[in-house]
Every structure is written in structure tokens, then in C-alpha cells.
Amino acid sequence: MPNLQNNWYRKLCDKVNEFAESFGLDDPQTNKFRDFIMGIARDQFKAGNRSGAGWAFEQARKKVAEGQAV
């Protein structure tokens, strides 16, 4: 079974490499480009993960509050 957790990462790396090649970037430039894109992706993932967790906890608190009100 393929590791689906890293599938998005692999696809993103492939796209970065594809763009770098089409732009004619050399290896150091490609590495900088990749680091830039992956850094943004990581930051956005963390932000989304935090907000998603906050939303889930809020929903759980609402359900508990509704259960106590009944």
C-alpha cells in the first residue's frame, strides 16, 4: 500500500522540479526555490492544522454544552 501521507509532498516536489527545469534553474537555484516553496507549504499546513484543531475542539465543547443543557 502506498504511503498516502507523503503523496502530496512527492507531487509538490515533482512540480517544483518541473518548474525549476522549465525556468532553466541550476542546482543551487533549484534548491533555493524548493526550500522557499516547501517552507510556505509547511507554514500553511501548520496554520491550517491549528485552525482545524481549534474548530474541532470548539465543536466538541458545543456538543458537550448541548448535552448538559438537555
- pLDDT, tens digit only, all 70 positions of the chain: 445 567 888 899 999 999 999 999 999 999 999 999 999 988 888 877 777 777 888 888 888 887 765 5
Question: How many Cβ atoms from other residues are within 10 Å of residue 20's Cβ?
Answer: 19
pLDDT at 15: 94
- For the chain, the straight-line distance linking the first and the last C-alpha, in angstroms and rounded, comes to 46
Chain Cα centroid distance, residue 20: 21
pLDDT at 27: 95
Q: Kindly give, in sequence order, each residue whose CB lies less than 8 Å from that of residue 17, ignoring residues fewer than 6 positions away.
A: 30, 34
Question: How many Cβ atoms from other residues are within 10 Å of residue 7's Cβ?
Answer: 10
Can you tell me the distance from the alpha carbon of 19 to that of 30, in angstroms, rounded to the nearest whole number? Answer: 9
pLDDT at 1: 41
